[in-house]
Each structure stands twice: as C-alpha cells, then as structure tokens.
Chain A
Amino acid sequence: MSNTQTRAEAKRESGRASARAAAIARFVVIVVTTYLGLLAVTFFIGRVIPIDPVLAIVGDRAPAHVVERTRIEMGLNLPYYQQFFLYVKGALQGDFGTSVLTTNPVMSDIRRVFPATMELASLGTIIGALFGIPLGVLAAVKRGSIVDQIVRIIGLVGYSVPIFWLGLLGLLVFYARLRWTAGPGRIDVVFEYTFTPITGFYLLDSILHRDWAAFRDIFAHIILPASLLGYFSLAYISRMTRSFMLNELQQEYIVAARAKGLSETRIIWGHALRNAAVPLVTVIALSYANLLEGSVLTETVFAWPGLGLYITNSLQNADMNAVLGGTLVIGSVFIALNLFSDLLYRVLDPRTRIR
C-alpha cells in the first residue's frame, strides 16, 4: 500500500521535474533566438547602408589594391552566412568594431558612457515609483473622485507629450528663469579635473569621496533630466498601480479584513498594496527598460554624456559601428530586463509556478 503510494509520488515528482526542465529549455530557446534575432537585425541594417564600410576606413582616395586588401581583411568578400557567423562571434566577445568618430573600440566607448545612462534611468525610475505608486493607490481608493481624474490627466499627458520638448521647457523654466537647477551636462567644468569617478555613477562617487560641493553640483545637474524621465515612468506606474489596486480591492480577503475590523489604512497599504506589489515589481522593471529608450532623446536635450547621446552623435557622423553597437547594447539590456521581470513574476507569485 505505502509502496504504491511512494511510487506514485516518485512518478509525480519526476513528472514535475521534467516539466520544470521543459520550462527551462523553453526559456533558454527564447533567450537564444531573441538575441540571435537581435544580431540578425543589426547585421542586416549594417549591410543595407549605402555607406561602404571599407571606404569609411581607408578613405575614397585609397588605391584600388588597398581597398581590395581591406575588404578581404574585414571579411567582406565572404558569403553572407559566414560574415554573420563572424559578426555573432565578435559580438559575443564584446567586439563591435572600431568607432570612426572616436577611433576607440566601440565596446570601450560604450563602457565609458553607459554608467551615465544607467544613473539617469535609475534615478528616474526611483522618482517614478516613489510618486507613481502612492498616486495610483489614491486614484484606486477614491475611484471616480477628483483625485482619480487628476491622476488620470497626469498619466494621459505623460503618454502624449514629446519628451524632448518638455525637457527644453524644463531647461527654460527651471534653469534659465528660476535658476533652481544647473544647465545641460553632467558636472560643472570646475570639477572636471578634480573629480575622479570610481564607479561611474557620479552621485555615488561624490559620496564615496565625501566631496559635498561636487555632490551638490552633480545633484543640481541630474535632478531635472531625472525628474523628466521620472514623470514618464510615473505616468505608466500610476496607471498600472491603479488597475492592480482596483483588482485587489474587489477580492474577498478585503471584505474579510474589513469584517475583522482592521483600519482602512491598514487594509489599503498593508494588505491590498502588498498583493498588488507582485505585478508592480515587473511593471517597474519594464518602466526601467522604457526609460533606457527615453534617455536617447533626453540625453540629446540635456547634453548628458550617456549612451543615447553617443548613439545620436554617431548617427550624425555616419559612424555605423558605434550606432549598431549602441543599438545592440540597449536592445540587450531591454531584452534582459523583460526576461528578468518575467522571471521575477514567476518567483514572486507562487500561483504561476509549475506544480
């Protein structure tokens, strides 16, 4: 009797294990094909451009044999599938070629500028979550009230306004007129030579240096673009928080909590929000990914020396290696964050686990 029971259990256990293995295998296939697709798209874009990559390096006055030799050295005489193989191999090793504009390897350029973008997007997400979640909760609790309407309008405008235009107006009002914040750039020239970055996150670095004058200056520079990005993430986060909270507030456990005599504050912030937090975490991860994209235009407006500005500068100089390298990095981080939020959801919400 007990023997058959354990056998049945063992069978179920092995079934569960193989289901889990299948899920992991599916996940790996998705990751690999998505990244290969990403590389295929950038490879394709790199090949359709009217700019000849050989001439871009040797110049259009180079003699024919030099052009031919460079073409062979770059592997451009090979069939496309071999070129693609080499491209994938290079990309996996972090080799995106050399930037024509800066003459550095694209990867080292990106490594230099990427922390600036990360710092901006991180602060933006923090601001967005800090204000967006309470606003969304309020809108859900006071559904249909004036607060709800205001939150809705804030969100709608956030979805409709051109980010670069809002940035320009922000500079006009808060920098030029009110003088509350610093202008474009990341740090004042005064600190350019005395301030040595450690992590590349300047706010953090100035704290590590205990250089409070630099901290104040860096903060004055970052707060405007970060608030701008924060507004866009707020628009998204507050809308999602509202709908998750509305969903939670209809559940029976809320009725039970009320019947138990818990205070409304406790019910909303302690019970409902806690359950809404699971999908919210994934929303925040997605909004972080969106800010990386939004940073392209924001950095251009604020002369913020990050990846977005690097890509647009390279674009203007037809520096395709740099453009595609930057695209690839933003795309990779975007995919990684999407997958991460997906995984996080599975870990945090026991209902989505395979039984």
Chain B
Amino acid sequence: MSETMQTRREWLLTERPASRLQARLGRAYLTWRRFTANKLAVVGLLIILALCLVAALADVLAPHSPYIGDLANSRLLFPDANHWLGTDGQGRDILSRLIYGSRLTLQVVVLVAIIAAPIGLLVGTVAGYAGGWVDAVLMRITDIFLAFPKLVLALAFVAALGPGIGNAIIAIAITSWPPYARIARAETLTVRNSDYIAAVQLMGASPTRIVLRHIMPLCVSSLIVRVTLDMAGIILTAAGLGFLGLGAQPPLPEWGAMIAAGRLFILDQWWVAAAPGFAILIVSLGFNLLGDGLRDALDPRGGSQ
C-alpha cells in the first residue's frame, strides 16, 4: 500500500515527465502540497465543502419545513431537542431555515462570480492587449466604478431595479468586476510582449484568438484567487442588502433577511438573530481562509507576508 503511494509520488514529482498530463498532475500535486501545509486554509476548504454539501442535501438534512411553522404552539421557542436552534417569530425551525438558506448564499456567490469574473477578464485583457486609447477608455471606466463605495452603489442599483434576490445579484456583480479587470490587465501587460505571443502573431492568429486562447488562460489563476478572496465581501454585501429588505424577499430563508426579522426580538429572543449571523460569519471566514491559502499556494513569491 505505502509502496504504491511512494511510487505514485515519485511518478508525480519526476524531473522528466513523459507526457503533458503527467507534468500537469505533478504541478497540481505540488500546489496541493503547498496548500495543505497551511492548516487554516484546509479549515477554510472544509467549511466551503461543508456548505456545498449542506446546500445539496438540504432536503435530507433539514428536520422541519423552512417555510411552514406552527404558529399556535411553537413561536419563538428556546433551542431544545426538537428545534436545535429554536424557532422564529412565525414558529419556523431556525436550523431548517439556515440549511435551506445555504442554497441562497451559494447561489449568490456562484452567480456573482460567473457574471463579474468574465466581464473583468474580458475588459482587462482587451485593454491590456489593445493598449492605446482603448486601454485608456476602458481603464477610466474601471476606475470610475472602483471609486464608488460598493455597498452604496449596489443599494442605488437595487433601488432602481426593485428589491429581490435576482436584482441584488445583478447589482453586486455590477460593483464587483473592476478589480478583476485591473488584475487581468496587469497579467496581460506582463505576457503581451513575450516571444510566444510574437510567435502566434507571426503564424497569423487574429487578435481575438490571441486574447481568447493565449492570454486569458494565463490570467485565470490569479483571478480565481481574487474571486475567492472577494466571496466573503460578496456574501456580506448580499446579507446587508437582505438585512435592509432589498435582497431576497420573505419567506425565502436568506440569512441577512433572517437577521432583520430576528431584530424585532433581539432583546428577549436573541437566538433568532444570532444563529443566521453566526452562519454568515463562519461561511465568510471559510472563504477568507481558503482565499488566503490559495494565494499562498498559487503564488509562492508574494504570499509569505
């Protein structure tokens, strides 16, 4: 058993990989070793995996319905054996609502990431590769969005679009892409004048092809790190919008909106607001730890501080 592990490791770490696949796996293995050397980063990864698992298995895990409570008998119950985290103002089980709420949280971060990251990537790589006035104009626009305080801009957008979780996601995505554009541009500028780009140009590749096939893939890893680090901020902004009544609407079990509902009972039934806030704290902590770990693992130069 351990012997096969040993040979496998040797195969991965060999100086002369026999195939592209072997080389790639070897690099991935090294990155993984650097990542797992950081205990806190592993904790972060476990938290995020747990979040995904809970979201996927919500139907199985939740002991009660997240929407229907017993108004007559089980309003604002203190945590007990039946309701582990107590019940809210409408007699609904808080634990079940938290479990279903994880789906909304995951939905927000995933959708914001897949809307904002490609926009930033496109703007940044095009600006960096084209240069000249295209670069100047695109970066000016980026700076303008960067100059806005994120939450306030998201507030204004949601106010215009109308409250709701879909609009909150759009508003957060609109305010999230500028840093990605900056990063993608910086990466593009470093590879733009390298020999392999000149070689592809000589072979007659169009600028579109160069940007899409030869520049964008190189920006992806630093972008992933940045997006992961931003996830905590995205969750907090979404929760803030939910708290102000502008995000997910009742009866959706969104964590920020749950805190807003629990605010009414904060002085006497504090657990109603405490539980969802704690869930937000844990999940954003997980993303922060994971992001820090990824940064250190993928970029061993700058991560030591």
Q: Measuring CB to CB, which residues of chain A are less than 8 angstroms from any residue of chain B?
A: 30, 33-34, 37-38, 41-42, 45-46, 48-50, 156-157, 159-166, 168-169, 171-172, 176, 243, 246, 289-290, 292-293, 296-297, 300-301, 311-312, 315-316, 318, 320, 323-324, 327, 330-331, 334-335, 338
Chain A contacts of B156 at CB under 8 A?
42, 45, 323-324, 327
Option from B143, B152, B285, B305 in Cβ contact (under 8 Å) with A34: B143
Q: Specify the chain B residue showing the minimal Cβ separation from A242.
A: B305
Interface contact B305-A246, CB-CB below 8 Å: yes
Residue B256, interface by CB 8 Å: yes
Given A164-B259, A172-B266, A315-B246, residue A327 in contact with residue B153 (CB < 8 A): yes
Contact B236 A162 (CB under 8 A): yes
Which of A37, A293, A301, A316 makes the CB contact (< 8 A) with B149? Answer: A293
Residues from chain A with Cβ under 8 Å of B277 in the complex: 161-162, 165-166, 168-169
For A34, list chain B residues within 8 Å (CB): 143-144, 147
Q: A34-B147, A169-B274 are in contact. Are A162 and B239 (CB under 8 A)?
A: yes
The reply on B180 being an interface residue by CB < 8 A is no
CA distance A45 to B160 in the complex (A): 6
Partner of B151, one of A37, A42, A289, A293: A293
Interface 1/0 per residue, B231-268 and A, CB below 8 Å: 01000100110011110000000001001000100110
Query: Cα distance A301–B284 when bound, in Å?
Result: 21
> Which residues of A sit under 8 angstroms from B288, Cβ to Cβ?
156, 159-160
- Contact A334 to B149, CB < 8 A, known contacts A34-B144, A297-B240, A315-B159: yes
User: With A41-B148, A168-B259, A172-B270 given, is the CB distance from A162 to B289 under 8 Å?
Assistant: no
Q: Are the C-beta atoms of B147 and A162 separated by less than 8 Å? A: no
In the complex, A41→B138 CA distance in Å? 15
Report the bound CA distance from A296 to B241 in whole Å. Answer: 11
B53 at the interface (CB under 8 A from A): no
Contacts A48-B160, A246-B305, A323-B159 supplied; 20 other A-B pairs, CB < 8 Å: A33-B140, A34-B147, A37-B144, A38-B148, A41-B148, A45-B156, A49-B160, A157-B285, A161-B280, A162-B236, A165-B281, A171-B266, A293-B151, A296-B240, A300-B243, A301-B263, A311-B155, A318-B159, A323-B155, A327-B152
B108 within 8 A of A: no
Q: Tally of A-B residue pairs with Cβ under 8 A?
A: 134
By a beta-carbon cutoff of 8 Å, the part of chain B in contact with chain A is 140-141, 143-145, 147-153, 155-157, 159-162, 232, 236, 239-240, 243-246, 256, 259, 263, 266-267, 270, 273-274, 276-277, 280-281, 284-285, 287-289, 305
Q: How far is the CB of A176 from chain B (nearest CB, A)?
A: 5
B228–chain A nearest beta-carbon distance, Å = 13
Quick one: which of B149, B256, B259 has the most chain A CB within 10 A?
B149
Q: Is the interface of A mostly helix, strand, loop or mixed?
A: helix
Q: Which of A45, A246, A292 has the most CB of B within 10 A?
A: A45
Q: How far, in Å, is A238 (CB) from chain B's closest CB?
A: 14
CA of A323 to CA of B161, assembled, Å: 13
A-B contact pairs, 30 of them (CB 8 A): A33-B144, A34-B147, A37-B145, A38-B144, A38-B147, A49-B159, A156-B288, A160-B281, A161-B280, A162-B259, A162-B277, A162-B280, A163-B240, A165-B273, A168-B277, A169-B274, A243-B305, A293-B149, A293-B151, A293-B152, A296-B240, A297-B151, A300-B243, A311-B155, A315-B155, A315-B246, A316-B245, A320-B160, A327-B156, A334-B148
